[in-house]
A and B are shown apart, each in its own frame.
Chain A
Amino acid sequence: MTQTLDQIFVLAKHWLLGFLPAAIQPFCSALLSVVAIILVFATLFAITTWLERKGLGRMQNRLGPNRVGPCGLLQPLADGIKSLTKEDIVPAAADHAVHFMAPVLLVAASFLGYAVLPIGRNMVLTNLNAGVLYFFAVGSLMELAVFMAGWSSRSKYSLLGAMRAIAQMISYEVPLVLASIVVILHTGSLSTVAIVDRQAVYTGIWPHWFVFTPWGLAGFVLFMVAATAESNRSPFDLPEGESEIIAGYYIEYSGFKFALFFLGEYIGMFATSAMAITLFLGGWAAPFSFLTWVPSYLWFFAKLLAIISAFIWVRGTLPRLRMDQLMNLAWQFMLPMTLINLLAAGVWQFMPAGVARWPVCAAIVAVPFLLLARGLKQKRKFQLRTYRFSQ
């Protein structure tokens, strides 16, 4: 019974495919999966916008949306209708073709990553041999889309926003990839399915999630920080900082294209969060062995929602960074820490299994962290800030 429940979507797909001629079955199978993924995550996007506005409102001592539908639940629908019916304004000087392609490419690129994310047991679009590499390769397409949006608008604000966004994304891509390499080092595979399978085993009732190892914990934290920056979310949301450059690279967009940018950003965020889950939090694996009867996809989405809530929480809590602080964090803190974490993972690999490697690896991660944090703090000099380029 639990087996069937767990595999219900897979079985349904196979049942549906049975009606089709064998020649087009593989194509239709992929098409079905793609449609399902797009629908599910678009819905999740709608829910998340509601959740975010509601949650932020409560944190800021407001009510949040509460007019459309019960508890404002239909607010995303209303927003969607609004943006669809608005006039699509394109600046006269804009490069029309590129201006049009940018949001499309962004959304497409952000959806591409889901091809290798295992949403549940046996529920993955393709099990690529180099899955993690594929994910990051596709992620780099988003930078191009951002640039296209910023450049084609022919507006200073959007160009500045795009430059900021690209600089930030490139800078944080390095720690993002390096933080995930520890997992690859441990599993010896770039396949996401293999990575999740390695974590879906239990000692007693406890799972073998990588986040429960010293290097895994550090890797997870680093990955999440880098992911926050990668998806341009607060406190790293300089590219679209309202108080400085209004909305960054998509300032010149309106109506449905604007909504597409929003969608793309959120979908990208979900994808990175899902990658974090896959790499560190055991993917669809249940947190305790006695809970394995709960269908695997439910666990996946529970974890995803938890991470999204954490994102919202962080956004409501932390102030925005300055550009130089942002860059310094990436190159002076994140990069060395990821490298040290890599070292810790290597040591973990080569030490004999046992209790001894726990404190050793923990020390390898924790001691440099303390030293580095102290050093960076001490280096800070408080003085009149000079603006090198603007004067």
Chain B
Amino acid sequence: MTASFTILAAITVAGMAAAMGLRNAVHCVLALTVGFAGIAALYLQLGAQFVGFTQVLVYVGAVAILAVFAIMMTQSRPSATPAPRAPLWAAGGAVAAAVFAVLAWAIHSNALSVQALPPQPEAAPSATVQQIGDALMHRFVLPLEIVGLLLTAALIGAVVIAMGRREEMK
């Protein structure tokens, strides 16, 4: 439990909590980018350089921008949304809190997995871009192809859905 981990975790949790708690949707997304960046930093700290940069590129560079765009396009007029009904709000919050409680308890109580672990490696295991590329091209080539297909389908699907019908555009 190093200092850097504590700081990064605090930043991440703060960003994410703000993202889920702020009233203004755009502020939410901006806070979200902080959270995403924090997670990317955690990846870097864990030695997964490639994944960390990919995280920044995809989430900060694409998903957040996309979300911002969607917010801009759906909030043409500020709608006064009333706060959710209190019982439902409480129920949702209780469920989330209970999930955390149960997960935390599971992590703490499950001593088995911790004992089964090998002695902690001091340096992070190496995962160079070369190794990742080799793995992608050999062992994981089929998933890679499928993901490529999925992304293509998602691209086309997103365009088709968002384009809407012709008449509506006129």
The residues of A with any CB-CB pair to B shorter than 8 Å are: 95, 98, 128-130, 133-134, 136-141, 143-144, 147-148, 151, 159, 163, 166, 170, 173, 188-190, 388-389
Contact = CB atoms under 8 A, between A and B. Distances in A.
Contacts, number: 67
A151 B129 contact: no
Interface stretch (B64-72, B83-91, B101-109, B113-121): B64-72
A130 B53 contact: yes
Nearest to B71: A151
20 contacts: A98-B26, A98-B27, A129-B128, A130-B53, A133-B50, A133-B57, A133-B129, A137-B53, A137-B61, A138-B56, A140-B62, A143-B65, A144-B65, A163-B69, A163-B72, A166-B65, A166-B69, A170-B62, A188-B130, A190-B129
B170 interface: yes
A137 B57 contact: yes
B57 A140 contact: yes
Contacts of A130: 49-50, 53, 129
B12 interface: no
Contacts of A173: 61
B60 A140 contact: yes
Residue among A144, A173, A189 having the largest count of chain B Cβ atoms under 10 Å = A144
Nearest to A146: B65
A151 B64 CA distance: 14
A151 B62 contact: no
A128 B49 contact: yes
A173 B130 CA distance: 24
A170 to B, nearest CB: 7
Contacts of A98: 26-27, 30
Contacts of B72: 151, 159, 163
Interface residues of B, number: 24
B72 to A, nearest CB: 7
A189 B53 contact: no
A140 B129 CA distance: 20
A17 B72 CA distance: 50
Residue among B50, B56, B169 having the largest count of chain A Cβ atoms under 10 Å = B56
B53 A133 contact: yes
Contacts of B62: 140, 170
Nearest to B68: A147
B45 interface: no
B112 to A, nearest CB: 35
Contacts of B4: none
Contacts of A141: 56, 60-61
B22 to A, nearest CB: 11
A388 B129 contact: no
A306 B34 CA distance: 37
B152 interface: no
A140 B61 contact: yes
A173 B58 CA distance: 12
A141 B59 CA distance: 10
Nearest to A388: B169
Interface string B11-54: 00000000000001011001001000000000000000110011
A148 B30 contact: yes
Given A133-B129, A141-B56, A388-B169, 15 more contacts: A95-B24, A129-B128, A129-B129, A130-B129, A133-B50, A133-B53, A133-B57, A134-B53, A136-B57, A137-B54, A138-B56, A139-B61, A141-B61, A147-B68, A189-B130
A159 B30 CA distance: 16
Contacts of B24: 95
Contacts of A188: 130
Given A133-B53, A137-B53, A137-B57, A144 B69 contact: no
